[in-house]
Amino acid sequence: MRKGLLLWIMVTISLLQLDAARTIYVKNGSNGNGQSWESAFGDLQKALKAAKKGDQIWVAAGIYVPTYDGDRNVAFNLVNEVSLYGGFAGFESSIHERDLTLNQTVLSGEIGSATKDDNSFTVVFAEKISPLTIIDGFIISDGSANGTEANVHRTTCGAAWFNSNSSPTISNCIFKQNVARLGGAIYNYAGKGGNSSPKIKACTFVENQADLDGGCIYNNGDEGTCSPRIEECHFKDNIATYGAGIMNRAKFGKTLVTVLGCKFINNKSLVKGSAIYNHRDNSGICQANTQDCIFEDNLASIGSDINNTLNNGLSTGGN
Protein backbone atom coordinates (compact mmCIF):
# COMPACT_ATOMS: atom_id res chain seq x y z
CA MET A 1 0.00 0.00 0.00
CA ARG A 2 2.79 2.39 0.98
CA LYS A 3 4.80 1.52 -2.12
CA GLY A 4 1.77 2.23 -4.33
CA LEU A 5 1.19 5.57 -2.63
CA LEU A 6 4.85 6.51 -2.98
CA LEU A 7 4.80 5.61 -6.66
CA TRP A 8 1.67 7.71 -7.19
CA ILE A 9 3.31 10.70 -5.48
CA MET A 10 6.45 10.38 -7.61
CA VAL A 11 4.44 10.18 -10.83
CA THR A 12 2.34 13.19 -9.80
CA ILE A 13 5.46 15.25 -9.04
CA SER A 14 6.98 14.30 -12.38
CA LEU A 15 3.84 15.35 -14.24
CA LEU A 16 3.74 18.64 -12.37
CA GLN A 17 7.36 19.29 -13.28
CA LEU A 18 6.60 18.61 -16.92
CA ASP A 19 3.75 21.11 -16.80
CA ALA A 20 5.74 23.71 -14.86
CA ALA A 21 6.54 27.06 -16.42
CA ARG A 22 9.75 27.05 -18.43
CA THR A 23 12.34 29.55 -19.55
CA ILE A 24 12.90 29.39 -23.31
CA TYR A 25 16.12 30.90 -24.65
CA VAL A 26 16.67 32.72 -27.96
CA LYS A 27 20.04 33.85 -29.29
CA ASN A 28 21.08 35.01 -32.73
CA GLY A 29 23.17 32.43 -34.58
CA SER A 30 22.09 29.54 -32.39
CA ASN A 31 20.34 26.43 -33.70
CA GLY A 32 19.18 24.56 -30.62
CA ASN A 33 15.93 23.58 -28.93
CA GLY A 34 15.64 26.61 -26.62
CA GLN A 35 16.35 24.77 -23.37
CA SER A 36 19.45 26.79 -22.40
CA TRP A 37 21.67 29.59 -23.65
CA GLU A 38 24.04 26.95 -25.02
CA SER A 39 21.20 25.33 -26.99
CA ALA A 40 19.06 28.40 -27.65
CA PHE A 41 16.67 28.88 -30.52
CA GLY A 42 18.08 31.18 -33.18
CA ASP A 43 14.60 32.37 -34.21
CA LEU A 44 12.07 34.10 -31.93
CA GLN A 45 9.18 32.70 -33.97
CA LYS A 46 10.23 29.16 -33.04
CA ALA A 47 10.23 30.12 -29.37
CA LEU A 48 6.74 31.61 -29.62
CA LYS A 49 5.43 28.45 -31.29
CA ALA A 50 6.95 26.29 -28.54
CA ALA A 51 5.77 28.47 -25.65
CA LYS A 52 2.84 27.64 -23.39
CA LYS A 53 0.94 29.58 -20.74
CA GLY A 54 3.25 30.64 -17.92
CA ASP A 55 6.51 30.33 -19.87
CA GLN A 56 9.11 33.08 -20.19
CA ILE A 57 11.14 33.74 -23.33
CA TRP A 58 14.57 35.29 -22.78
CA VAL A 59 16.01 36.93 -25.88
CA ALA A 60 19.67 37.86 -26.28
CA ALA A 61 20.94 41.00 -28.04
CA GLY A 62 20.50 41.14 -31.79
CA ILE A 63 18.01 41.96 -34.53
CA TYR A 64 15.02 39.66 -34.99
CA VAL A 65 12.51 39.93 -37.85
CA PRO A 66 9.06 38.31 -38.11
CA THR A 67 9.86 36.52 -41.38
CA TYR A 68 12.59 35.94 -43.91
CA ASP A 69 10.36 35.44 -46.95
CA GLY A 70 9.19 39.03 -47.37
CA ASP A 71 5.57 38.39 -46.34
CA ARG A 72 4.45 41.71 -44.87
CA ASN A 73 1.47 40.18 -43.11
CA VAL A 74 3.61 38.06 -40.79
CA ALA A 75 4.13 39.46 -37.28
CA PHE A 76 5.36 38.22 -33.93
CA ASN A 77 2.05 36.89 -32.57
CA LEU A 78 2.03 36.97 -28.79
CA VAL A 79 0.95 33.93 -26.78
CA ASN A 80 -1.37 34.60 -23.85
CA GLU A 81 0.41 34.67 -20.48
CA VAL A 82 3.80 34.06 -22.08
CA SER A 83 6.28 36.82 -21.21
CA LEU A 84 9.15 38.05 -23.37
CA TYR A 85 12.27 39.67 -21.94
CA GLY A 86 15.05 41.24 -24.00
CA GLY A 87 18.38 42.78 -23.05
CA PHE A 88 20.40 39.64 -22.34
CA ALA A 89 23.99 39.04 -23.39
CA GLY A 90 23.35 35.30 -23.51
CA PHE A 91 24.78 33.90 -20.28
CA GLU A 92 22.54 35.29 -17.52
CA SER A 93 20.69 33.19 -14.97
CA SER A 94 18.45 36.02 -13.70
CA ILE A 95 16.36 38.75 -15.31
CA HIS A 96 18.04 41.20 -12.95
CA GLU A 97 21.40 40.58 -14.64
CA ARG A 98 20.24 42.15 -17.91
CA ASP A 99 21.76 45.33 -19.35
CA LEU A 100 19.17 46.87 -21.68
CA THR A 101 21.51 49.60 -22.89
CA LEU A 102 24.45 47.34 -23.67
CA ASN A 103 22.46 44.40 -25.04
CA GLN A 104 19.99 45.98 -27.42
CA THR A 105 17.36 43.48 -28.53
CA VAL A 106 15.53 44.66 -31.65
CA LEU A 107 12.27 43.43 -33.13
CA SER A 108 12.43 44.90 -36.61
CA GLY A 109 9.99 45.20 -39.49
CA GLU A 110 12.85 45.59 -41.96
CA ILE A 111 12.21 42.44 -43.98
CA GLY A 112 12.77 43.72 -47.52
CA SER A 113 14.65 46.50 -49.22
CA ALA A 114 16.24 49.45 -47.44
CA THR A 115 13.04 51.51 -47.79
CA LYS A 116 9.96 51.18 -45.59
CA ASP A 117 7.70 50.45 -48.56
CA ASP A 118 7.99 46.67 -48.15
CA ASN A 119 8.45 46.40 -44.38
CA SER A 120 6.19 44.41 -42.06
CA PHE A 121 2.73 45.95 -41.72
CA THR A 122 2.96 45.43 -37.97
CA VAL A 123 5.86 43.94 -36.03
CA VAL A 124 3.97 42.64 -32.96
CA PHE A 125 0.36 41.45 -32.94
CA ALA A 126 -1.73 40.67 -29.86
CA GLU A 127 -5.28 39.33 -29.81
CA LYS A 128 -7.17 38.65 -26.56
CA ILE A 129 -3.99 38.87 -24.51
CA SER A 130 -4.16 39.38 -20.72
CA PRO A 131 -2.05 41.64 -18.43
CA LEU A 132 -0.07 38.54 -17.38
CA THR A 133 1.60 38.74 -20.80
CA ILE A 134 4.69 40.91 -20.21
CA ILE A 135 6.90 42.36 -22.93
CA ASP A 136 9.99 44.02 -21.45
CA GLY A 137 13.28 45.31 -22.79
CA PHE A 138 12.93 45.51 -26.59
CA ILE A 139 13.44 48.05 -29.33
CA ILE A 140 10.53 47.75 -31.77
CA SER A 141 11.22 49.54 -35.02
CA ASP A 142 10.60 50.01 -38.73
CA GLY A 143 7.04 48.77 -38.98
CA SER A 144 5.18 50.23 -41.96
CA ALA A 145 1.37 50.02 -41.90
CA ASN A 146 0.90 51.61 -45.30
CA GLY A 147 -1.83 49.28 -46.57
CA THR A 148 -5.06 50.27 -48.28
CA GLU A 149 -7.70 48.72 -45.98
CA ALA A 150 -10.43 51.32 -45.27
CA ASN A 151 -11.43 50.04 -41.80
CA VAL A 152 -9.45 49.34 -38.64
CA HIS A 153 -6.89 46.80 -39.77
CA ARG A 154 -3.37 45.74 -38.84
CA THR A 155 -2.11 46.66 -42.32
CA THR A 156 -2.93 50.33 -41.73
CA CYS A 157 -2.91 50.71 -37.93
CA GLY A 158 -0.18 50.18 -35.35
CA ALA A 159 3.01 49.64 -37.33
CA ALA A 160 5.03 48.47 -34.33
CA TRP A 161 2.22 46.86 -32.36
CA PHE A 162 -1.49 46.15 -32.87
CA ASN A 163 -3.54 45.23 -29.80
CA SER A 164 -6.91 43.70 -30.68
CA ASN A 165 -9.02 43.43 -27.50
CA SER A 166 -5.77 42.89 -25.63
CA SER A 167 -4.25 44.23 -22.42
CA PRO A 168 -0.58 43.21 -22.25
CA THR A 169 1.98 44.77 -19.93
CA ILE A 170 4.59 46.67 -21.96
CA SER A 171 7.64 48.05 -20.16
CA ASN A 172 11.16 49.32 -20.81
CA CYS A 173 10.66 49.29 -24.59
CA ILE A 174 11.70 51.75 -27.28
CA PHE A 175 9.39 52.35 -30.24
CA LYS A 176 11.38 53.90 -33.03
CA GLN A 177 10.78 55.00 -36.62
CA ASN A 178 7.46 53.26 -37.20
CA VAL A 179 4.97 54.63 -39.74
CA ALA A 180 1.23 53.97 -40.06
CA ARG A 181 -1.93 55.63 -41.25
CA LEU A 182 -3.29 55.52 -37.69
CA GLY A 183 -1.21 54.87 -34.59
CA GLY A 184 2.36 55.11 -35.82
CA ALA A 185 3.70 52.81 -33.09
CA ILE A 186 0.79 51.25 -31.14
CA TYR A 187 -2.90 50.83 -31.97
CA ASN A 188 -5.14 49.75 -29.08
CA TYR A 189 -8.49 48.56 -30.42
CA ALA A 190 -11.55 47.62 -28.38
CA GLY A 191 -14.37 46.52 -30.63
CA LYS A 192 -17.72 44.73 -30.28
CA GLY A 193 -17.83 44.65 -26.50
CA GLY A 194 -14.14 43.91 -26.14
CA ASN A 195 -11.49 45.46 -23.92
CA SER A 196 -8.07 46.81 -24.79
CA SER A 197 -6.38 48.19 -21.68
CA PRO A 198 -2.62 47.66 -21.82
CA LYS A 199 -0.23 49.04 -19.25
CA ILE A 200 2.61 50.89 -20.95
CA LYS A 201 5.37 51.91 -18.56
CA ALA A 202 8.85 53.43 -18.89
CA CYS A 203 8.81 53.28 -22.68
CA THR A 204 10.30 55.72 -25.20
CA PHE A 205 8.59 56.75 -28.44
CA VAL A 206 10.87 58.52 -30.88
CA GLU A 207 10.51 59.48 -34.56
CA ASN A 208 7.26 57.63 -35.15
CA GLN A 209 4.72 58.96 -37.62
CA ALA A 210 1.04 58.65 -38.50
CA ASP A 211 -0.15 59.91 -41.86
CA LEU A 212 -3.43 60.77 -40.12
CA ASP A 213 -3.81 60.46 -36.35
CA GLY A 214 -1.88 59.19 -33.36
CA GLY A 215 1.81 59.61 -34.11
CA CYS A 216 2.73 57.14 -31.37
CA ILE A 217 -0.39 55.64 -29.78
CA TYR A 218 -3.98 55.46 -31.04
CA ASN A 219 -6.56 54.37 -28.44
CA ASN A 220 -9.88 53.37 -29.99
CA GLY A 221 -12.88 52.45 -27.86
CA ASP A 222 -15.05 51.76 -30.89
CA GLU A 223 -17.78 49.53 -29.47
CA GLY A 224 -15.87 48.36 -26.40
CA THR A 225 -13.68 49.78 -23.64
CA CYS A 226 -10.17 51.06 -24.30
CA SER A 227 -8.49 52.20 -21.09
CA PRO A 228 -4.70 52.01 -21.29
CA ARG A 229 -2.47 53.25 -18.51
CA ILE A 230 0.56 55.10 -19.90
CA GLU A 231 3.12 55.84 -17.23
CA GLU A 232 6.60 57.40 -17.15
CA CYS A 233 6.93 57.32 -20.93
CA HIS A 234 8.90 59.72 -23.13
CA PHE A 235 7.48 60.99 -26.45
CA LYS A 236 9.96 62.84 -28.64
CA ASP A 237 10.09 63.96 -32.30
CA ASN A 238 6.88 62.25 -33.39
CA ILE A 239 4.54 63.51 -36.13
CA ALA A 240 0.82 63.22 -36.97
CA THR A 241 -2.06 65.25 -38.33
CA TYR A 242 -3.95 65.01 -35.02
CA GLY A 243 -2.37 63.81 -31.77
CA ALA A 244 1.34 63.58 -32.45
CA GLY A 245 1.87 61.73 -29.19
CA ILE A 246 -1.46 60.11 -28.31
CA MET A 247 -4.82 60.02 -30.11
CA ASN A 248 -7.86 58.97 -28.08
CA ARG A 249 -11.15 58.25 -29.80
CA ALA A 250 -14.51 56.80 -28.81
CA LYS A 251 -17.40 56.37 -31.19
CA PHE A 252 -20.00 54.21 -29.43
CA GLY A 253 -17.78 52.74 -26.71
CA LYS A 254 -15.46 54.14 -24.04
CA THR A 255 -11.90 55.40 -24.26
CA LEU A 256 -10.64 56.22 -20.78
CA VAL A 257 -6.92 56.86 -20.79
CA THR A 258 -4.57 57.51 -17.87
CA VAL A 259 -1.33 59.35 -18.63
CA LEU A 260 0.99 59.73 -15.65
CA GLY A 261 4.44 61.29 -15.36
CA CYS A 262 5.12 61.35 -19.11
CA LYS A 263 7.28 63.75 -21.13
CA PHE A 264 6.19 65.17 -24.50
CA ILE A 265 9.04 66.97 -26.23
CA ASN A 266 9.29 68.39 -29.75
CA ASN A 267 6.29 66.54 -31.20
CA LYS A 268 4.44 68.03 -34.15
CA SER A 269 0.79 67.88 -35.20
CA LEU A 270 -0.10 69.36 -38.56
CA VAL A 271 -3.52 70.41 -37.19
CA LYS A 272 -4.32 69.83 -33.48
CA GLY A 273 -3.05 68.09 -30.37
CA SER A 274 0.71 68.32 -30.52
CA ALA A 275 0.86 65.92 -27.55
CA ILE A 276 -2.63 64.48 -26.95
CA TYR A 277 -5.87 64.70 -28.91
CA ASN A 278 -9.23 63.48 -27.58
CA HIS A 279 -12.11 62.93 -29.99
CA ARG A 280 -15.61 61.75 -29.12
CA ASP A 281 -18.16 60.66 -31.72
CA ASN A 282 -21.87 60.05 -31.22
CA SER A 283 -22.61 58.36 -27.88
CA GLY A 284 -19.00 57.51 -27.08
CA ILE A 285 -17.18 58.52 -23.90
CA CYS A 286 -13.64 59.81 -24.36
CA GLN A 287 -11.60 61.08 -21.42
CA ALA A 288 -7.90 61.42 -20.66
CA ASN A 289 -6.64 61.76 -17.10
CA THR A 290 -3.28 63.49 -17.39
CA GLN A 291 -1.13 64.05 -14.30
CA ASP A 292 2.42 65.23 -13.63
CA CYS A 293 3.36 65.39 -17.31
CA ILE A 294 5.92 67.67 -18.96
CA PHE A 295 5.23 69.40 -22.30
CA GLU A 296 8.09 71.17 -24.07
CA ASP A 297 8.52 72.61 -27.59
CA ASN A 298 5.56 70.75 -29.11
CA LEU A 299 3.99 72.34 -32.19
CA ALA A 300 0.49 72.35 -33.69
CA SER A 301 -1.15 74.61 -36.26
CA ILE A 302 -4.21 75.07 -34.04
CA GLY A 303 -4.59 74.82 -30.29
CA SER A 304 -2.14 73.61 -27.67
CA ASP A 305 -0.53 70.44 -26.37
CA ILE A 306 -3.90 68.87 -25.50
CA ASN A 307 -7.08 69.37 -27.54
CA ASN A 308 -10.59 67.97 -27.41
CA THR A 309 -13.28 67.64 -30.08
CA LEU A 310 -16.91 66.54 -29.87
CA ASN A 311 -18.67 65.35 -33.03
CA ASN A 312 -22.36 64.54 -32.65
CA GLY A 313 -22.77 63.48 -36.24
CA LEU A 314 -21.80 60.25 -37.92
CA SER A 315 -18.09 60.06 -38.56
CA THR A 316 -15.95 57.23 -39.89
CA GLY A 317 -12.73 59.09 -40.55
CA GLY A 318 -9.57 59.16 -38.48
CA ASN A 319 -9.91 62.78 -37.31
* Residue 83 forms part of a structural domain: yes
How many domains are there within the chain?
Answer: 1
Query: Which of 306 and 118 is assigned the larger pLDDT?
Result: 118
- Specify the CATH number for the domain of residue 243: 2.160.20
Tens-place pLDDT, residues 167-217: 999 999 999 999 999 999 999 999 889 999 999 999 999 999 999 999 999
pLDDT of 15 over the 90 cut: no
* Residue 252 forms part of a structural domain: yes
Average pLDDT rounded to a whole number, residues 97-103: 98
pLDDT at 280: 87
Average pLDDT rounded to a whole number, residues 300-311: 78
Average pLDDT rounded to a whole number, residues 248-265: 95
* Residue 117 forms part of a structural domain: yes
pLDDT at 5: 53
* Residue 226 forms part of a structural domain: yes
Q: What does each C-alpha distance from 109 to 70, 152, 160 come to in angstroms?
A: 10, 20, 8
pTM: 0.90
Average pLDDT rounded to a whole number, residues 282-308: 89
| Amino acid at site 28 | N
* Residue 319 forms part of a structural domain: no
The rounded distance, in Å, linking the Cα atoms of 189 and 166 is: 8
* Residue 175 forms part of a structural domain: yes
pLDDT at 55: 98
Domain of 86 in residue numbering reads as: 22-311
The rounded distance, in Å, linking the Cα atoms of 181 and 162 is: 13
Tens-place pLDDT, residues 107-137: 999 998 888 999 999 999 999 999 999 999 9
pLDDT at 43: 96
